[in-house]
A and B are shown apart, each in its own frame.
Chain A
Amino acid sequence: MSLLELDDLVVRYGAVEALKGVSLTVEEGEIVTLLGANGAGKTTTLRTISGLLRPSRGAITFDGQPLKNIPAHEVAAMGLRHVPEGRRVFPQMSIVENLEMGAYRDRKHLKVDMERVFGLFPRLAERQKQDGGTLSGGEQQMLAIGRALMGRPRVLLLDEPSMGLAPLVVQTIFQIIGEINADGVTVLLVEQNAAQALRRASRGYVLETGTIAMQGEASALLQDDRIRQVYLGESTGDEAQAG
């Protein structure tokens, strides 16, 4: 049995079907990436898994338990943590307070876990009292990931962790994601940066307008001509003109 399973998930915003029957699985210990253009339904997928959106059809199973009607705060308590698009750190809370929020339900391991997060992200340790809203994009991303780790998750849902960050910072973030995964945390990674994501992941899915258009081993997807053209930007001469 897979750790996380989506089966024929349909999500509507009013009359618009954002997801039109999405099925995917994530095995324990994997990094699985979900690729796709803007508006393909990647964020919708994550928000539905974490309970922020209600599907109108289909099933979500986490560790054998159905998630469909469980509210977001309970899903978080079950060990499934969502790092939302745009980081969403609490702007008027300090780094320490943001991290405390990650352990809102269970503060037993607060000290140990905070030390661990500071170990992963020394940048955060240096500015513990600083407000979340005053951090750089990269620091906010680190804080958002660290905050999710404070909940001791079994699965991390990461929504575009590289968005808007400098290449060097992107490298760091992806490296940390690798380390977190090596510690036993399963990762479902939504990315626009397909090359980086596929290099880290074991498998990948490609979403196009609310349906899974392609899926497979990450190494195979990296070699796929269509993926290379559309998502890796390795197209013909057109790109140079457009760029």
Chain B
Amino acid sequence: MAFADQFWQLTVTGLVIGSVYAVIALGYTLVYGVLQLINFAHSEVFMFGAFGGVFATRALLPSGNISATESIGLVLLGLGIGALCGGLAAFALERTAYRPLRRRGAPRLAYLISAIGASLFASNLAGKEFGRDSVNIPKDLFDYNTQVFSVFGARVSKQDLVVFVVALALLLLLDRLVSGTRLGQGIRSVAQDSDTASLMGVNVERIIVMTFVLGGLLAGAGGFLYAMKFNASFTMGFIPGVKAFTAAVLGGIGNVRGAVLGGIVLGLVENYGQFFLGAQNLDVVAFLVLVLILLVRPSGLLGERLGRAA
């Protein structure tokens, strides 16, 4: 089969998964912006959000036939609870793994070790509490695979559409928040110059917590979206986590619009790449991209900095 025949289908798949990478990547980039710290436990925040959303929809699914309104309501509820769980996990993570280090003025390496420790702990805690098998979103929630429409012959399923539209809405919302609200301005001021921000009356500690929570809310909602396609499991965080991190670096770590661009580009590239290298090499393509950017353009496509629209 020629690439040209598959191009549009690969593009659809790439855009859908890329938009989810983008949502997760924002958490890495926001935290990096204010703290110059890569929060490697962010993947576990994502995982907790996924479980939260999946369990919520499973528990609340009515027996028997489900109406369209109920279906939409449940998806929104899953997203909301997923986001909430992600936000809580991020809050707890900042409190236990990072704040004590910041209080003591710890060196950078200590944060990295703490992050990896927290990540292993969180993942295994989930394995113990939620079981080692993957958990899926109820099959009856909506008819995932129904084709909604097609673009140039590529089919777009209902699930694809839901994931993409929700992710896009989250991205726009976050962009508005960072560029147009007082909280967003506070975050940008801390990213640009935290000492001076505090001289303006900005409570930097509070902004740091809010930034973690914001990233966690997004990752949690993103986790639910991801679980719609691939189920939830205690080890689910690692691969999308590293890919979202790659997306953030690709766009320019610390740069919000860069993370969005990076996520979309990565989603597309790995899907085009798997056509040539085989589906079993999908993840290889993503990490090849990471290595290449670090070699060729380490500051990313849009450059570092939590810049103007940040």
Contact = CB atoms under 8 A, between A and B. Distances in A.
Contact of A73 (B192, B204, B305): B204
A84 B195 contact: yes
Interface of A: 50-52, 71-74, 76-77, 81-82, 84, 88, 90-94, 97, 100-102, 104-105, 107, 131, 147, 151
Question: Which range contains the number of B residues in contact with the other chain?
Answer: 20 to 34
A88 B201 contact: no
Interface of B: 182, 185-186, 188-189, 192-193, 195-204, 305-308
The interface centre, meaning the residue of B193, B198, B204, B306 with most chain A CB atoms within 10 A of its CB, is B198
Contact of B200 (A51, A71, A147): A147
Chain B contact residues: over half helix, strand or loop, or mixed?
helix
A102 B200 CA distance: 5
Nearest to A100: B185
Given A100-B185, A101-B185, A131-B308, A90 B199 contact: no
23 contacts: A50-B199, A52-B198, A52-B199, A73-B200, A73-B204, A76-B200, A76-B201, A82-B199, A84-B196, A88-B196, A90-B193, A91-B193, A92-B192, A92-B305, A93-B185, A97-B185, A100-B185, A101-B189, A101-B200, A101-B202, A104-B182, A105-B201, A151-B200
By Cβ-Cβ distance, the 10 closest A-B pairs, closest first, are A105-B201, A72-B198, A76-B201, A88-B196, A101-B200, A92-B307, A90-B192, A73-B203, A73-B198, A104-B201
Contacts of A107: 182
A152 B189 CA distance: 20
Contacts of B193: 88, 90-91
A131 B204 CA distance: 22
A131 B193 CA distance: 15
Contacts of A100: 185
Contact of B192 (A74, A91, A104, A105): A91
A131 B308 CA distance: 9
Given A52-B195, A84-B195, A101-B197, A90 B189 contact: yes
Contacts of B197: 101
A181 B182 CA distance: 30
A104 B305 contact: no
Given A73-B203, A73-B204, A104-B182, A93 B198 contact: no
A76 B200 CA distance: 6
Given A73-B204, A93-B308, A104 B199 contact: no
A178 to B, nearest CB: 23
B96 to A, nearest CB: 22
A104 B206 CA distance: 14
A24 B182 CA distance: 37
Contact of B201 (A52, A77, A94): A77
A50 B196 CA distance: 11
Given A90-B196, A104-B200, A104-B201, 14 more contacts: A72-B195, A81-B199, A90-B192, A90-B193, A91-B193, A92-B192, A92-B308, A93-B188, A93-B192, A101-B200, A101-B202, A102-B200, A131-B308, A147-B200
Nearest to A144: B196
Nearest to B306: A92
A87 to B, nearest CB: 9
Given A90-B192, A101-B185, A101-B189, A76 B199 contact: yes
Contacts of B196: 84, 88, 90
A165 B308 CA distance: 27
The interface centre, meaning the residue of A52, A74, A93, A151 with most chain B CB atoms within 10 A of its CB, is A93
A88 B196 CA distance: 7
Nearest to B309: A92
The interface centre, meaning the residue of A51, A73, A77, A82 with most chain B CB atoms within 10 A of its CB, is A73
B210 to A, nearest CB: 14
Contacts of A94: 308
A151 B198 CA distance: 13
Nearest to B195: A52
A82 B192 CA distance: 18
The interface centre, meaning the residue of B185, B186, B189, B201 with most chain A CB atoms within 10 A of its CB, is B201
Contacts of B307: 92
Contacts of B306: 92
Contacts of A81: 199
B25 to A, nearest CB: 20
A104 B203 CA distance: 10
A101 B192 CA distance: 12
A90 B185 CA distance: 11
A72 B192 contact: no
